Structure 1
Amino acid sequence: MTTIAYEERKQRLIDFLRHHADGPIRLGKATSNLFRDRKPVAGERLDVRDFNNVLHVDREAGVIEVEGMTPYAKLVAESLRHGVMPAVVPQLKSITIGGAVTGCGIESSSFRYGLVHETVEELEVLLPGGRTVVCTPTNEHRDLYFGFPNSYGTLGYALRVKAKAVPVKRFVRLEHLRHRDPAAFFDDLRHRCDDPGIDFVDGVVFGRDEMVLSLGRFADDAPYASDYTYERIYYKSLRERREDYLTTEDYIWRWDTDWFWCSKNLLAQNPLIRRLYGRERLNSVTYTKIMRWNSRVGLTARLNRLLGVHAESVIQDVEIPIEHGPAFLEFYHDTIRFLPVWICPTRAFRDDVRFDLYHLAPGRLYVNFGFWDVIRGRDKLPDGFYNRKIEHKVRELGGMKSLYSDSYFTPEEFWRIYNREAYERLKRRYDPEGRLKDLYAKCVLKE
């Protein structure tokens, strides 16, 4: 894909915005990994589906230049051809790099490189008024560079991203360490994050006294390579093996085949039904399509009403300072209860950088808790009953909550956490006509 082609397509979007200057706008795109249903809103659709190309991979410089709507499946495949990978690759193939930058993506290399947006060196943003700006940490648009993460498309859209790439080897050797005590588990995790010989760190909580810490190291050779893309299921192997080897590509996508463990809700872990899906359809793209269809037709909601069951989706990722990890886990076991839970450490890639709308303290190690399921019961509870408890506990422990799913903050709570002053300053400069919804309206009110 040539730069000229990129510039021509960019000009098409600019012309569209300038000729549709009145009224709200929304993105027209092929995929979404938001887990909150938005209310139907009238508005012009900005078609960005063809901004899905890898423009350049520079192995020597350790940089990838890519268009914002490129899914990580495509980005990783092209990067590996050059012997590198993006420094942080979120877990699902259908996530786009632009979405990960504006929505705070994470993975098992984040203990070293931070969240996805921390690996970005340059960002070209399409503004709602019909112009583009290039943002870096030091240029005249550095305020947007530091304010774009966690803005969820309310300030503009990432058309082009220049991000850090790191060299890879053919295989990843995995070591699975078992723990029975949460305090020992988090202490071990903290210790491993300081080991320069480890390339990847994450873990899974299977129960109050069953936790597995997984350490990954690149390897040139392997005695075997396990396959978790069809009949075998990766997360189950953590309880069965102490050592494992995967190709680097399979390691990157180890969670995608079964949507971590959520494929069980779509019967995909049943051996017979798994074969009916087939290898090519066991992935997050398929599951997301099924989820969107169910949301549109309301099949599950009808069944719940028929059975007299009240349900609340609890789909959350939260960052908690590691010293409070045991306390949050105890709260989780007492309140939310469904298992497993994903554990992923992260800390700032650079200690001298602050991202305004999703501030994690420099030099501090955080732990991401990822948990995704539905709580059902006979009693009708207030709307967002369990999600509100999570939000309160995260604030109490000095953590941060991602906004890709349901949120129930009051406006006062929300803006205390997500920096109203900085956000409104960015809004005045980059969307003065208010063509895009503000962050609270989009992420909490679902407008």
Structure 2
Amino acid sequence: MEAHKALVAGVSERVKHFHETKQAFRIYHGSTNSTRQSHRRADNTVDTSQLNKVLWVDVEKRTALSEPNVPLGQLLEATLKHGLAPPVVMEFPTITVGGGFSGSSGESSSFRHGAFEATVESIEVVLADGTVTTASRTERPDLLWGAASAFGTIGVVTLVEVQLRPVKPYVEMRYLHCATPEEYVDRIAVEAAKPDVEFLDGIVYARDSTVICSGRFADEVPPGRKAVGFTRRFDPWFYLRARDAEKRLVRSAAKKAAAAAAAGTGTSDKDGVQEEVVDYIPIRDYLFRYNRGGFWMARYAFGYFLTPFNRLTRGLLDHFMHTSVMYHAMHKSGMHDMYVIQDVGVPYGQAPDFHRWLDETYAIYPLWLCPLRIRRDAADSAHGLHAQFADPTKTPETLLNYGVWGPVSGTRADIVRKNRLLEHKVQQCQGKKWLYSHAYYTEQEFWSHYDRDAYDAVRVRYGAHDLPSVYQKVRVDYQAEEAALADRPVKALLWKIWPIRGLYGVYCAWTGGDYLLEKKNDGKTKEKKKEKKKEKKKEKKKKDDEGSVQDTTTTTTTMTTTTTPKPPQSAEASGDVAGDASGDAPTGKPVDTPAATSAAKA
């Protein structure tokens, strides 16, 4: 604990410095599962990357005390030793505890337990002035719920107490086929009502074909069956395994229908008479079943690089198929700008029409379905961005989340327009868009969709009103990004040539390096670069001229006198040390400028 306190003291001092100098800052965690472009630099950043330890697991209390940058894979490793796990474990092992709390995160157990933030008992947080404090469900609950899904705009979370629950070694996974949106909405409701169902999600493969995945805990694999894993190199990707189940269920239903038609009787699969397809999955493999392949997003990379998509190629390229590597490549290549990558939730009653609108507007498949309980039952929880979740009169108990992820055609402006269409449609459906991904709202649109009054009240109460807001953190200013790219015409040209940007992303993912911290001078404009070049040319010409004069003087002295000529004056003696004449900093040490630092956003 002493090591933790020392690290937090360092974070506190850094935040206090930014507060006193009135400089905006960003938080550097060391990794991200957001699709937004990073604008962090060493000079505008509070580094919390060393806060990455599980401090303890309390078996009796069933909680874990974790620093914010602990990946869920590491937390799960610590808790499974005691037969425990967090009630909500996001699908990628590199998602961090702090990211799950400060962002918006849910998974297949969220139909029962809510989002990850709903499973947090307490936090330690460094406020905007550097003060270190704590918040829990009974002590400063406004700060706890205000910091949830606030993306670090209330303060810097440095410790998280997470609830735990008993788990078993295996998950019994039942695959259920549905032909229409109405059918899968009904099926989800039926499965969610069963007390022994612990996990529930679905994959929409086509407008008329959806697989619902319903999971229960199991102590062991039945005799004659083998466990199915999803974490080894040549294991199947989960969505492909579920696709095999879909095909089997469709064939079975077709045979039943044909037999019923021949016999002159009717049949229906709605009442549970369809054939069952069941897998037994080790608990860790289940919880991170979507990590390899990034659900199914990695398949698009095979198409982009014209690579065969089969078990052999997936196995050989397995290193690149894990989400941590994929996010690295995506951020460096900027290829997320060519996609719709959104998670949005709508009320169950709106889901069938919303599905048909998605089909007509985008025709992107597969889609991910995940029922998400949003109701806040805790006392005094009506605070922050989602304060209305505590009011049963304003929000439904559960939303059906749609993961809409896939490439779309057109210019960047066309792609932005298609993203904005989705944002507007969700608002019309009285749903919610989760903010880990690109957000294209105007500020007025954004705050008509989220609770500004409750959010600002927490910010003012805890002195965070001078920090950037959630809107400033999540909004994508694509016009500014396009203008910055236009200032680099060579890059802009190369980025349009297939497959250069994709290869660059793969290269960066292969070689490693930090993709979240920009170099300090990367933001220089084209004009500043030109001025720099001019200054260097002037300096070189000046040195050349001085050298020419000195050579002439030496020659003249030798011809007219018999005394030994003095050597030319050194650069150090004349004051022309590299960097001094032009006012530049020495090589490798960029200069801070007030304009650059004051313009930096957190």
- Fold shared per TM-score above 0.5: yes
Aligned partners of 2:376, 2:62: CA distance in 1, in Å?
A: 17
Q: Do the aligned partners of 1:59 and 1:83 also contact (CA within 8 Å) in 2? A: no
Matched, 1:253 2:255: no
Name 1:14's counterpart in structure 2: 12
The DSSP-based 3-state class of the residue aligned with 1:384 is helix
Alignment of 1:172-251 (within 5 A): 172-222=171-221, 223-229=225-231, 230-231=233-234, 232-241=236-245, 242-251=277-286
Aligned-pair distance for 1:257? 1.1
Q: For residue 571 of structure 2, what is the aligned residue in structure 1? A: none
What is the aligned partner in structure 1 of residue 591 from structure 2? none
1:16 positional shift: 2.5
What secondary structure is seen at the aligned counterpart in 2 of 1:291?
helix
1:53-202 aligned at under 5 Å gives the runs 53-139=53-139, 141-202=140-201
Measure, in 1, the Cα distance between the counterparts of 2:48 and 2:42: 18
Name 1:263's counterpart in structure 2.
298
Contact 1:312 1:384 in 2 (8 A): no
What's the CA shift for 1:380? 7.4
Partner of 1:37: 37
In structure 2, the CA distance between the partners of 1:349 and 1:109, relative to structure 1 (3 Å rule), is: farther
Q: Describe the SS at the equivalent of 2:14.
A: helix
**How many residues are matched?**
428
TM-score, L = length of structure 2: 0.68
Between the aligned partners of 2:122 and 2:144, the Cα distance in structure 1 is 8
Unaligned 5+ runs, structure 2 = 246-276, 478-600
Corresponding residue of 2:501: none
Match of residue 431, structure 1, among 449, 463, 473: 463
Q: 1:87-124 deviations in whole A, cap 9, x for unaligned?
A: 10111111111111111110011011000000111011
Distance apart, 1:137 and its partner CA: 2.1
Structure 1 residues 266 and 383: alpha-carbon distance in aligned structure 2, compared to 1, 3 A threshold: closer
Kept after mapping to 2: 8 A contact 1:409/1:444: yes
Matched, 1:274 2:307: no
Which structure is higher in strand share? Answer: 1
- 5+ residue gaps, structure 1: 302-310
Could you tell me which residue of structure 1 aligns to residue 274 of structure 2? none
C-alpha distance in structure 1 between counterparts of 2:412 and 2:76, whole Å: 45
- Establish whether residue 356 from structure 1 lines up as the match of residue 361 from structure 2: no
Displacement of 1:319: 1.2
Please say which of residues 35-44 and 149-158 is displaced more in the overlay. Answer: 35-44
- Structure with a larger share of its residues in helix: 2
Q: Please report the RMSD computed on the Cα atoms of aligned residues, expressed in angstroms.
A: 2.1
Aligned residue for 1:391? Answer: 423
| Structure 1 pair 174–101 and aligned structure 2 pair: CA distance change class (3 A) | same
Distance 1:398 1:355 in 2: 20
Q: How many Å separate the matches in 2 of 1:74 and 1:392?
A: 38
Query: Aligned residue for 1:305?
Result: none
TM-superposed deviation, 1:375: 0.2
- Residue 408 of structure 2 aligns to a residue whose secondary structure is strand
Instruction: Note the 1:291-302 alignment, pairs <5 A.
Output: 291-295=330-334
SS of the residue aligned with 1:240? helix
Partner amino acid, structure 2, of 1:273: T
Corresponding residue for residue 581 of structure 2: none
Percent identity between matched residues is 31
Cα separation, 1, equivalents of 2:68 and 2:360: 40
Deviations 1:224-253 (A, max 9, x none): 211222222211111323111110010001
CA distance in 2, matches of 1:349, 1:75: 26
TM-score by length of 1: 0.90
Residues 384 and 85 of structure 1: CA distance in aligned 2, closer, same or farther (over 3 Å):
same
The 3 A distance-change label for structure 1 pair 33 and 157 is same
Deviations 1:339-393 (A, max 9, x none): 101100111465354453124464622111112122014x775461111111111
Deviation, 1:186, is 0.2
Match status 1:336 vs 2:340: no
Mapped to 1, the partners of 2:465 and 2:147 lie a distance apart of 18
Larger radius of gyration, structure 1 or 2?
Answer: 2
